[in-house]
Amino acid sequence: MGKDLKKDSSLTIRIECKTKENLKEIASKKGLTMSELINQCLTELVENEKFKEQYKDQLENRTKDFEEKLKKLKKKFICKN
């Protein structure tokens, strides 16, 4: 991860045995502990969700603008034919 984070909390979860084995294998290939791997994945998930929330309005407006421009283009195309 590149950063030393203070480990001041723990989380106990139940997962399927096969998933645990797969996670162990992935962690080993990446040179991480299981805790480091899972912490990295969860941190990325949280950051992605925060990003989506932060730019939600902009993304919605962009989609609406795109749809309006598409409608105008369709109208122009239909009128020319």
- Report pTM: 0.60
| Whether the predicted pLDDT of 1 surpasses 60 | no
| Whether the predicted pLDDT of 25 surpasses 90 | yes
Q: 3-state secondary structure string, the chain?
A: CCCCCCCCCCCCCCCCHHHHHHHHHHHHHHCCCHHHHHHHHHHHHHHHHHHHHHCHHHHHHHHHHHHHHHHHHHHHHHHHC
Task: Calculate mean pLDDT across residues 63-71.
Answer: 89
Q: What is the pLDDT of residue 14?
A: 95
| Whether the predicted pLDDT of 63 surpasses 80 | yes
Tokens encoding 10: 């723990």
42 or 8: which carries more pLDDT confidence? 42
Contact indicator for 26, 37 with CB cutoff of 8 Å:
yes
